[in-house]
Amino acid sequence: MFSHWPWTSLVICVGVAVAYRAIVLLCGSRSVQTAQPLPKKRGTFEADPSALPHATLAAFWAYGGDYPVPYPDAEKVVRDLERRHGIVLPDDFRAYLLTTAPKDDQWDGTDMIWWSLSRVRSIPEEYEHSLKNPLIAAKAERYLFFADYCLWFWAWAICCEAGEDYGKVAIIGAGDRWVADSFTDFVKAYVGNPDSVN
pLDDT, averaged per 10 consecutive residues of the chain (198 residues), comes to 49 54 42 38 75 93 88 95 97 96 92 95 97 97 97 97 97 97 97 94
pLDDT at 36: 39
What CA–CA distance (Å, rounded) separates 149 from 159? 19
What CA–CA distance (Å, rounded) separates 182 from 198? 15
pLDDT at 38: 38
pLDDT at 26: 42
Q: Are 147 and 159 in contact (CB under 8 A)?
A: no
Pairing of strands 143-149, 121-122: antiparallel
pLDDT at 32: 36
What is the CA angle 103-104-106, rounded to 5?
Answer: 110
pLDDT at 46: 87
Q: Are 69 and 102 in contact (CB under 8 A)?
A: yes
What CA–CA distance (Å, rounded) separates 70 from 83? 22
CATH number of the domain at 49-197, out of 3.40.1580.10, 3.30.110.30, 3.50.50.60, 3.40.50.10790? 3.40.1580.10
CA distances from 191 to 36, 74, 106 (A): 20, 24, 15
Q: Are 89 and 101 in contact (CB under 8 A)?
A: no
What CA–CA distance (Å, rounded) separates 94 from 167? 11
Sketch the domain layout of the chain as residue ranges: 49-197
